Structure 1
Amino acid sequence: MCSYFQEQTKDSVRQIIFSALFSPQGNKADDGRMILLGKLVSMAVAVCRVPVLECAASWLQRTPAIYSVRLARALVDDYCCLVPGSIQTLKQIFNASPRFCCQFITSVTVLYDLSSDDLIPPSDLLEMVVSWIFEDPRLILITFLNTPIAANLPIGFLELTPLTGLIRWCVKAPLAYKRKKKASLSNGHLTNKIAKDSATGADKDCHLLYSKLHLSVLQVLMMLQGHLTEKNLYGRLGLVPFDHVVPLVEEINRLSDELNPLNASKEIELALDRLAQALQVAMASGALLCTRDDLRTVCARLPHNNLLQLVISGPVQQATHAALPPGFYPHIHTPPLGYPAHAAHPALPAHPAHPAHPAHPVQTFIPGMTFPYRPIR
């Protein structure tokens, strides 16, 4: 099969045959299809068969997410779990099929949602994903940029970008790893894996990787305003759906309550800082379509965080102008686009000089108010 797809010269024929063979039909044969698909794509990765990887990328985009996650799990098992060091083989397909890499990242962010210790991404997988994105942040926009897009996306399929999943990784990571450490200590001993991770500093390395990933995600969000405007989707398509922000905030709140706030104050602060940064940049770029009132309602129960408070308060809104697209939040210190420049104010006439006041001690803590100083007795 791998040879057939490699030798078939017509891409349309490849796609049709691939879809006919592996699209879920809702019957008992689906399990067999998924097992065979996992072996085929795993082989294509091992021998770098780009046509198969391109077909798999289209399949991931057009298939319900529950099946996409199964394929991602099969690849993670083959290249992250079975043979140590084999992740390098998977890592090398970055240049061969970026489109497949984009869809694979989207799938693994759905698979590993950090909701439990078992669903924290393996360190090798995390390092590979971060290296891909840090090398070229535009990688995670490939599907979005190369797909005809309708305003209403189908429910139950992978999103156009892995942005939501990557934001979830960055925001929840400090709390998830703290929970993992707390669970291991509460058992009275460290498991072999956790002991090994602690000895090698793997958890510390992971925290650095999440920090690096967070920077890359913010950079991608900042690119989006131009792309959305170019596609005439600014204000119409939220690539970071508000419906996905709500459960993320609820998960953060639950984890914050679960962990002792006194012992996890640094982790909670870091998670909320990252959440605030992601929300602010996503809203400013048009990737997140919601109002500050929506955010205030959703974030009301979160622990206090100065940066988050600034974000949900937002800049002082000026009068609505037709030239501004929906959901546009003007910058605080610069005039928003579409507003006419204000004419310079005429110079005010000089005030006549006031006569000197009699000298007496005054207190000037409050600007503009003076009164005699009276010591407290």
Structure 2
Amino acid sequence: MSTEVNLKQGLRKLEYPICAKEALYKIYDLICSRITSIKNMDLALDLMAEFVFYEVDRRGHKRAQSLSPLQELQLVKILYEYFDTLTSESGRNTVFLSLFSGTTINSRLGVLTKFISMGIGIPSTKILSSASAWMQQLGNTSPNSCKFAEGLIQDYFHFYVSSTEKITALPEISLEFTANFLTAIAENYYNTSNKKTTTLPPSKFIFPPQKLLETVTLWISQNTSLCIAAQQKQAVLPPGAIAMEATTPIAGLLKWCILAPIYRQDSKEYTDLHLALLNSIMEIPKSTPPKAVCAQHLTSSINPILTFVNDLKNKQEKKFSEIINEDALQLSLDRFAQAIQVIASVNAMYGHTDDLYHQIKILPFNKLMNIIQNNYKNKVVVL
């Protein structure tokens, strides 16, 4: 107890941000030593809240005023220098996951986004590797990961558009981080149930900025293994931690390409991205069981297509025969069918595949989709 008191009293004598820098070294000793305890972890969490993020005072009460913009920038710089010099990947990830845990991330997301934005800009492979492990452990499609990804998009595709060459080179810095980042990005667009980000309005499709679309297309076109990279290399985690399986961005990005025609998003990048995704899927190594594309994720394109058909029928009073021959609808269905066909051909689909094939029956007629349905029906009969 006296050691804990002495430690805190010593740090309180230091001005911010020096106390934050010193606290990080103490935190590492507490949670990364060979012998750890609940007491050490609790003390480390106290140090984070009081001396690193300046969230509570010496009595543990929430501060009326958090970090000033200047203090936040000072902290981001300290975090960058600290993590970029840590040689132990296990220790680095242990501290990172503790600083930005699922229970504290809401109040620390702004610092995290600026910190990783700096890790992209300078850049730092070590920091992005830890950020990748963090996204994977919290879930790369989770609300926190999606908010984090949106923050980086704001930085590099809205605020600092002249610095896009930095993020264009992202796969060269960290392939695994880019893959997890892509999965979160895919969730943020062409998604009506936008509870995942606070910056995007609900019940409305949001389309990716053109420069982001171009960058994503370039990434995947240049590296067919990018989409599954996060599944190929396991992060080094703290002892006893259970590694979470990464969700690939394939289904989410395919949804962009499938729905783009019916929402009059006619950028040629959607065609290029669709082709790049199909090429990537063809290169997926066989795994048992399959883990690259979830069948349930693919079904998320069905309702928007049906809504499009109903809108044409009700608002424009078109006959169903006219609607079926709509070029935009048929292109959308062609892309959907091509995706299912290629994914099935390399046995990369997992989950409720029967449900997917059952649901696509309610879609308007499309020649290729009809062939896929018949092939699946025959396969099931043979089995």
TM > 0.5: yes
User: Is the aligned partner of 1:127 residue 2:214?
Assistant: yes
Q: How many residues align?
A: 276
Residue of structure 1 in register with 2:367 after alignment: 306
User: Is the aligned partner of 1:24 residue 2:102?
Assistant: yes
Q: 1:100 aligns with which of 158, 165, 177?
A: 177
Residue of structure 2 in register with 1:227 after alignment: 286
Q: 2:260 aligns with which of 173, 178, 185?
A: 173
When structure 1 is superposed on structure 2, of 87-96 and 54-63 the one drifting more is 87-96
Letter in 1 for 2:92: R
- Cα separation, 1, equivalents of 2:214 and 2:146: 19
C-alpha deviations, 1:314-359, integer Å up to 9, x for none? 17449868xxxxxxxxxxxxxxxxxxxxxxxxxxxxxxxxxxxxxx
C-alpha deviations, 1:112-153, integer Å up to 9, x for none? 1353665211111110011010011111111122239xxxxx
Letter in 2 for 1:143: A
- SS of 1:86's partner is helix
- SS of 2:87's partner is coil
- SS of 1:237's partner is coil
User: Is the aligned partner of 1:138 residue 2:225?
Assistant: yes
Q: 1:160 aligns with which of 234, 247, 250?
A: 247
Contact kept in structure 2, 1:60 and 1:158, CA below 8 Å: no
Q: How far is the alpha carbon of 1:257 from its aligned partner?
A: 2.2
- SS of 1:85's partner is helix
* 1:281-360 pair list within 5 angstroms: 281-289=342-350, 294-314=355-375, 316-317=378-379
* 1:188-267 pair list within 5 angstroms: 204=266, 206=267, 208-224=268-284, 226-228=285-287, 233=288, 236-259=289-312, 262=322, 265-267=326-328
Q: How far is the alpha carbon of 1:250 from its aligned partner?
A: 2.0
Contact kept in structure 2, 1:69 and 1:111, CA below 8 Å: yes
CA-based RMSD? 2.5
Residue of structure 1 in register with 2:330 after alignment: 269
Q: How far is the alpha carbon of 1:93 from its aligned partner?
A: 2.1
Contact kept in structure 1, 2:295 and 2:353, CA below 8 Å: no
Question: TM-score, normalising length from structure 1?
Answer: 0.67
Q: How far is the alpha carbon of 1:294 from its aligned partner?
A: 4.2
- SS of 1:81's partner is helix
When structure 1 is superposed on structure 2, of 36-45 and 261-270 the one drifting more is 261-270
- Cα separation, 1, equivalents of 2:88 and 2:294: 36
Residues 291 and 76 (structure 1), Cα distance of their counterparts in 2 relative to 1, 3 Å cut? closer
User: Is the aligned partner of 1:57 residue 2:135?
Assistant: no
Residues 22 and 301 (structure 1), Cα distance of their counterparts in 2 relative to 1, 3 Å cut? same
Question: TM-score, normalising length from structure 2?
Answer: 0.66
Residues 296 and 60 (structure 1), Cα distance of their counterparts in 2 relative to 1, 3 Å cut? closer
Contact kept in structure 2, 1:102 and 1:141, CA below 8 Å: yes
Compare CA radii of gyration and give the structure with the larger one.
1
Gaps of 5+ in 2: 1-78, 193-202, 236-243
- Cα separation, 2, equivalents of 1:267 and 1:111: 23
Q: How far is the alpha carbon of 1:50 from its aligned partner?
A: 1.5
Q: How far is the alpha carbon of 1:60 from its aligned partner?
A: 0.8
Letter in 2 for 1:252: I
Residue of structure 2 in register with 1:7 after alignment: 85
Residues 319 and 311 (structure 1), Cα distance of their counterparts in 2 relative to 1, 3 Å cut? closer
Q: How far is the alpha carbon of 1:51 from its aligned partner?
A: 1.0
Residues 118 and 89 (structure 1), Cα distance of their counterparts in 2 relative to 1, 3 Å cut? farther
Q: How far is the alpha carbon of 1:18 from its aligned partner?
A: 0.6
C-alpha deviations, 1:25-72, integer Å up to 9, x for none? 1xxx43221111011001111110111111111111111411000110
Q: How far is the alpha carbon of 1:79 from its aligned partner?
A: 0.7
Residue of structure 2 in register with 1:67 after alignment: 144
Higher helix share: 2
- Cα separation, 1, equivalents of 2:100 and 2:356: 41
- Cα separation, 2, equivalents of 1:75 and 1:280: 34
- Cα separation, 2, equivalents of 1:247 and 1:318: 24
Identity %: 27
Q: How far is the alpha carbon of 1:223 from its aligned partner?
A: 2.2
User: Is the aligned partner of 1:45 residue 2:123?
Assistant: no
